[in-house]
Amino acid sequence: MSVSVISQDTPWPEIPALMLPALGETALMVGIVMLFVVSLGGVVGVVLFNTSPRGLFPQRGVHRVLSWIVNMGRSLPFLVLMAAIIPFTFWLTGTTIGIPAAVVPMIAAGIPFFGRLVDNALRELPGEVTAVGLVCGGSRWQIIRSAQLSEALPAIVAAITLNLISMIEYSAIAGTIGAGGIGYLAVVYGYQRFDNHIMIATIVVLIALIQTIQFFGDRLVAALRHPQGTSL
């Protein structure tokens, strides 16, 4: 007597119909998060550097406090952070599931990470970059924009690439709280329903997506690495 086993795997031709909406949700999440991370995290990094002894407005106390906050924000694994700020997320968004609930902890994790990367990029600049701006009589904003950020642009683009990849990884983890996206597809279909086809497709798509972002990020960084003069 033979027993026929019905496969639980989603047929390959049906996978794009599930994968494309999930990719769109992931792109939406990551896009919203990166807007906040790059803008707010960039400000944090600039302030962190310029309150240091090498900066435009050294403030030892402010620098120490801000550095401590940034380090604290980077200390918690994303899954722990996501669970720890659930009350704040609910207060802010009115929900603990879905894309709004995922965006809040992703932003909270991304800002200190990107801020530290920007700080490191600025610290790699020669001290003469800021000194030349001061000698030329530029304002603080002019020096930050036209000297510091301009000279550190390749390193900042590399930091954005790294942060973007991290946010895609975080969005996959956020799928565990029903945030949608590729992570949710992998958890609900691939893991809970033991759908091997979905799991394989998710892994392949994530690898291809990360490799593509890293490739174009590296090309852009290489194109920006050329001698730059300090102009105010």
pLDDT surpassing 50 at residue 2: no
- Gap between the Cα atoms of 13 and 46, Å rounded: 49
pTM above 0.85, yes or no: yes
State pLDDT tens for residues 146-163.
899 999 999 999 999 999
Q: For the structural domain made of 17-224, what CATH number should be given?
A: 1.10.3720.10
User: Structure tokens of 78?
Assistant: 């994303």
pLDDT surpassing 70 at residue 89: yes
* DSSP secondary structure letters along 73-88: HHHS-HHHHHHHTHHH
Rounded to the nearest integer, the mean pLDDT of the chain is 90
Each domain of the chain, given as residue ranges in start order, spans 17-224
State pLDDT tens for residues 28-49.
999 999 999 999 999 999 999 9
State pLDDT tens for residues 53-79.
999 999 999 999 999 999 999 999 998
Please choose, from the candidates 172, 162, 167, the residue with its C-alpha nearest in 3D space to the C-alpha of residue 22. 172
Contact indicator for 186, 198 with CB cutoff of 8 Å: yes
